[in-house]
Amino acid sequence: MSYISGRWWRWKFRKVLLVALIQVCLETSVLSCQVDCNQVFTSPLGSFTSPCYPGDYPKSLACRWTLRAPAGFIVQLTFADFELEEALGCIYDRVVVSTGSSDVKFCGITAHGLTLNSTGNVMELLFSSDFSIQKKGFNITYRQVAVALRNQKVRIPQGAGQAIQASSLVTIPSLQMFTVCFEIARHKQRSTEKIFSYTSGGSDVLVFGMHGAEMALGINSVQCGLGTILNQSDFTATMKSFCFTWTSTSGRVNMYSNGYRTTSCTDSKLETLVDGGVFSLGGDRDSIDGDLYNFRLWDYAMSRTQLTELTCDVPGNVLDWENSFWDIPASHSQTDSTLSCICFPNCTHLTTAVPSSGTAIPTLTSPTTSCASSGMGCPGRTRVFHWHACHMSQFVK
């Protein structure tokens, strides 16, 4: 009796399991191409495909993908693969790309291999299919491209002879005072850390960084110790803004960061910085291991009030954080949407063409596909699961 009832329960259990598995199989096959194709992508680069790609796309689709880049970037889209139903005027199945200034319609294989740039920081792609004739659709890759140095920070190169230099087209005047401002984030603390230097004829005219055991400003052969107003621990992994002024007549060095601090460097009194030298971020060696941003230089010493009120977008009158002032290899510039001064004023530069120099591809890699998010019917994966589930059910019998 107990044996029979045990068998009965086992039989009953298998039957229930079988029914459940059949249900799963049916549901996954029905759901397999019900992909959410109304999505917004904000990653620096990625890819997405038409639903069920490389299988045929479903009938009667209406999809909208929005590619959104931070202000100061454009979106560059490439059709790595493209095949839609062909029709004159693309009246049946079509892709319409809104670049910001125009709408471009595609069907057949016309878009295969094509690259499109947005004019602003948003690109939209609409895809619709009708009730008959399906093709494999498309595979699209996209990336954000920075259009201005102000949307980029610079990784200070490490190692001798690798400093990032101001453009040779910029002439540094002779200076008896200056204001220098920059933002800096440090990755790893080192015993010697040069942040910037100005050299002429191979010798240092102005050096800012660790000297011996304290932060110092080297002016010609004079070392102005800054230990009372600055120390190494002021540099952190978070971008922070610093401004320094120096005045030859008084020999004073002032700093503005979180607050205003001032110190005297009497030995630097009446020194003059020669003109025509080369300005570098980092040093010839012993550079700080970190990122610099918004490095600006003025030929006068700002007052405490001026420093307090200075905003990130006031241009330096000797050096400014714009492409034309610097020779920065693309391998050292990085886009970063958290930088303090992107897109100002009014993001007007967004509509300008991508400059031939100074552009960089964001180095972040977080590719997204239409199958990356949970809760979406991913044809490949659900089919595999479906197959296993249905075969497993055979063993249950």
Ligand X SMILES: *[C@@H]1O[C@H](CO)[C@@H](O)[C@H](O)[C@H]1NC(C)=O
Q: Which residues bind ligand X (CB under 6 A)?
A: 47, 49, 76, 80, 115-117, 139, 141, 145, 231, 233, 345-346, 348, 354, 359
Using the minimum distance from each CB to ligand X, give the nearer residue, 206 or 378. 378
* Integer Cα distance of 94 and 87 in angstroms: 9
Crossing angle of helices 2-31 and 379-396, rounded to 10°: 160
The encoded tokens of residue 59 equal 């009938």
**CA-closest candidate to residue 323, choices 148, 131, 133:** 148
Q: How far, rounded to the nearest angstrom, does the alpha carbon of residue 344 sit from its chain's CA centroid?
A: 17
Using the minimum distance from each CB to ligand X, give the nearer residue, 139 or 162. 139
Using the minimum distance from each CB to ligand X, give the nearer residue, 112 or 388. 112
Q: How far is the CB of 80 from ligand X (least distance, A)?
A: 4
Cα angle 32, 36, 42 (rounded to 5 degrees) comes to 135
Using the minimum distance from each CB to ligand X, give the nearer residue, 243 or 297. 243
Q: How far is the CB of 107 from ligand X (least distance, A)?
A: 19
Using the minimum distance from each CB to ligand X, give the nearer residue, 161 or 345. 345
Using the minimum distance from each CB to ligand X, give the nearer residue, 90 or 360. 360
Residues 6 or more apart whose Cβ sits within 8 Å of residue 64 = 37, 38, 124, 125, 126, 127
Provide the 10 A C-beta neighbour count for residue 60: 9
Element (H, E) at 394: helix 379-396
Q: 66 and 124 in contact (C-beta within 8 Å)?
A: yes
Using the minimum distance from each CB to ligand X, give the nearer residue, 129 or 359. 359
Q: How far is the CB of 74 from ligand X (least distance, A)?
A: 7
Q: How far is the CB of 360 from ligand X (least distance, A)?
A: 10
* Integer Cα distance of 290 and 354 in angstroms: 27
Using the minimum distance from each CB to ligand X, give the nearer residue, 41 or 279. 41
Q: How far is the CB of 48 from ligand X (least distance, A)?
A: 9
* Integer Cα distance of 360 and 367 in angstroms: 17
Q: 186 and 235 in contact (C-beta within 8 Å)?
A: yes
* Integer Cα distance of 86 and 93 in angstroms: 8
Q: How far is the CB of 53 from ligand X (least distance, A)?
A: 6
* Integer Cα distance of 370 and 48 in angstroms: 5
The encoded tokens of residue 207 equal 């050096």
Using the minimum distance from each CB to ligand X, give the nearer residue, 305 or 346. 346
Q: How far is the CB of 76 from ligand X (least distance, A)?
A: 6
* Three-state secondary-structure class, residue 327: strand
Q: How far is the CB of 168 from ligand X (least distance, A)?
A: 24
Q: How far is the CB of 307 from ligand X (least distance, A)?
A: 17
